[in-house]
Each structure stands twice: as C-alpha cells, then as structure tokens.
Amino acid sequence: MVVYCGMRQFIPILFLVITLGLVAAAVYYLSRRFALFFPTPGMKGWVWIFSLGLAFAFVGSIGFSELTNQFVAAWSLVGSILLGAFVLLLLSLAVTDLIHLLLKLSPALRGWLTVGLTILLTGYGVWNAYHFRVKEVTIPIRGLTKEIRAVQLTDIHLGNSRGKKELERIVRITKELRPEIIFNTGDLFDSKTHFNGNNDVLDPFRTIGVPHYFVFGNHDEQVGLTQVLRRVKESGVTLLMNSVAHYNDLQIVGLNNMAADSQSFDIHASNDSTTVQSVMKSLEIDPERPLLVLHHRPDGIAYMAEAGADLLLTGHTHAGQMFPFTLMAKWMFGYNKGLYQYEDMKIYVSQGLGTFFSPIRFGTHSEITLLRLVPAGSIRLNSLGYLPQQEKEATITANAPTFVVKDAETNETLYSGKTSGPFYQEDIRQEVMMADFSALQRTGSY
C-alpha cells in the first residue's frame, strides 16, 4: 500500500516530465521542417518565438486550475487553444507529407498548406467543441413497468473555457428533450474560475424542474470538492455519495469517484479508502427491482454486475476528445464511448459536453444523451439486423421525425419511434450485445 501511494504521488511529475520531453522533441522536429519550407535568415528567430509561445500555452493551459483571477482565466483559454493547435499542426504536417508523396509540392507550398490546414482544423475543432449534439439511446431494462425518459449530462467542465452561457444552452436543450429525470455523472468543474464570491454559474439548473441526480468526478475533487458540492446542492441538484435513491421502479446508486478495488492502480482515483467493490457490497439493494448505477468513470464494472446492476451510466473518457488521442483512448479504456454489454449489465459511456486541456474536439462530439429506458423485451433486434426468433433481415429507414425498422422481405414494421430533434440519417445505427437485447441509437444536432 505504501508503494502504491508513493507511485501515485510520483505519476503527475512523471507525466509532466514526459509531456515536456515530447513537446521539446516536437518543437525541434518542427523547427527543422519549417527551416526546410522557409529557408530565410530570420527563421531561427521565428522558431524561438514559436517555442516561447508554446511554453506560454502549456503553462497557461494546465497550470492555473487553482486560481480565480479573470486575467489568468483568459490566459488559460488562449493557451489551451494554442496547445490544441500545436497537436493539429503536427497532424497537418503529416497530411501535407502524404500529399507531397503524390503531387511533389514545393517546400514553400508544403509549408503554407500545413499552416492553412492547421488554422482550418483548429477553427473547426473549437466550433465542434461548443456545438452540442443530442444522442438518443433506447435501452431495455428488466423489471421496468413503463418507459422512463431521462437525460444524461456529464463532463461539462465549467472553468476557463466554459461558463454560465454554455450551461444555459445545455439546460435549454435538455428541457426541449422533455426528460422526467436527469443523471449527471460528474466533472462539472475543472477550475476555480467560477468560485469568486456568490457566483451564480449553476443557476440554470434551478429551472429544469425535474429530479436531477449528481455524482462527482476527479476534476471536481481537484478544484475543491467541498465548494463544488455546496454549489451543486444550492442549485437544487440531489447529491448521491455512495448512496441509493429511488425513482418509480428504479433503484439509483450514485458512487463517489473511486478505484474499482484496493488492488487497482488508478491515477484518477481519490484518496478515499472506499472502492467500488466495498461500497457495492455495503449498500442495501433490492434484487427484485431494476438497478441503475451512476459513476464518473467506467471502472469497477464487474463489482456492479455482481451486485445486480442493470445499467451503468458513466463518462470521463471524452472518447479521446481529439485525434490522435482518440486512438489512445480506445486502447486505455475498455469502455470508451457508446453502449456496451457486460454479462447482464448494460454500460453507456457518454462522450461528455466539455473538454480537457484544450477546448477543441476533432473526431468526437460534445454529447447530451437522451435515454429511453424501456421494459425489457419491447425491442428485439440483434447486431446483424435480425429478429432472433425469426431470423428475418431488417432494414432501417429514417424520414424525420419518424424512425422505422422494417422486415426486409415483407416490409412489416418491426419497430418505430419519433426523434426528439433534427438528426442525420447516416448517424443512425444499431448497437446490440446479445440475442434478446438491442439498442437503437440516433443522433440529433443542435
């Protein structure tokens, strides 16, 4: 245990050293490449300016979560955008190199193409990060007697890049979806920017008008859990801290941000000695009623399933947020985004609404999740689009505002529903984990 705690304290320093080393290597590499693109006498000076600007961005983007000064907040916002742009600059350089293999571009043209592509990708990434999509997911739950219409909010990350205006937009879209209950799975804050005085950043939550349950995440702990929980409670939201609530047929377990068990090594876990394993064993759960678990991170899955959980709602991953980190996230997290099945338990991992380290999304989307929790057995399609009992191929057609699944041979309607807003037909897809279970997903864009 002593070794474990010591390693946890060492990890942030190791991460910082490795990151700085990679950044330094990337700066050196870029300086050599741009010296080739633009062989001018003043290029070394520009490289120094670029390096200092990157250092400015790096310090500003990660160094001030503890401060509330508005100047520092602006510095952090600009710095975090520049840091994301740096990643996209490396990506743009790789793209122009591939183009050069085909078209044999001049060095100067390659340089300007790299710069132009970086600006375009950065602009799109910032726009995409603040452009919220609604993803509708239908999930059968055993033991439900009627459908529950819910919304999951997660990873909003109020701080230097997001504030009350963004939360007002989130609440407006949420209310348009007409949920009867809200599940909020943490990382509501990522800096103390909004902790000045009697800040009203969470006031929009007061207008929702339906039950709203919250569990905290690792960033909420890092910026000051006591202040976060006080503000959440004052906004009319119900805190679930290793406790059980009830709504209609549902038992709702809300877990603190913690490791799966005492043997798990997890740099995001709190210093709390409790674990998912110990808490799930200690709670009074009725095995005859459906059980929904809220936990910020997709950890401790086996212990939740062992306790009889039917559904876990979680976030944390951001689905990697921006390419190429999306590839890393798929490798790091066993449950990265979307819907999964573990034994008899469904798992839904939201991509979240906010961003971390840079307000840029590239290859992912900022997501509000509309959940239609329906009685089990009301939808039956498997992953190939077949009804398991009849082995009939199914086709999916969309004509807003309806969504229809039909038998491919007889044209018989197997399932139909209505969308909650505009959606793209190419985003409609099925995700099915077992023969007697399916979930139909569709995405709306606001």
Averages of pLDDT over each 10 residues, the chain, 446 residues: 45 62 71 71 68 64 54 71 83 86 83 88 92 89 90 92 89 94 94 72 93 93 88 93 94 93 70 85 92 94 93 92 83 85 90 88 92 73 38 42 57 57 34 32 35
CB atoms within 10 A of CB 211: 17
The residue with tokens 């997501």 is 367
Domain locations along the chain: 2-129, 132-377, 379-446
Question: Which residues, including other chains, have CB under 8 Å from residue 312's CB and lie 6 or more apart?
Answer: 292, 293, 294, 295, 298, 301, 304, 345, 346, 347, 348
Closest CA to 342 of 308, 370, 381: 308
Cα-based torsion angle of the residue sequence 367, 370, 374, 379 in order, rounded to the nearest 10 degrees:
-60
- Distance CA(63)–CA(178), nearest Å, equals 39
Task: Given CATH 3.60.21.10, say whether it is the number of domain 132-377.
Answer: yes
- pTM of the predicted model, to two decimals? 0.77
Instruction: Note the pLDDT tens digit of each residue in 198-228.
Output: 578 899 999 999 999 999 998 888 888 888 9
Q: Please name the amino acid found at residue 67.
A: L
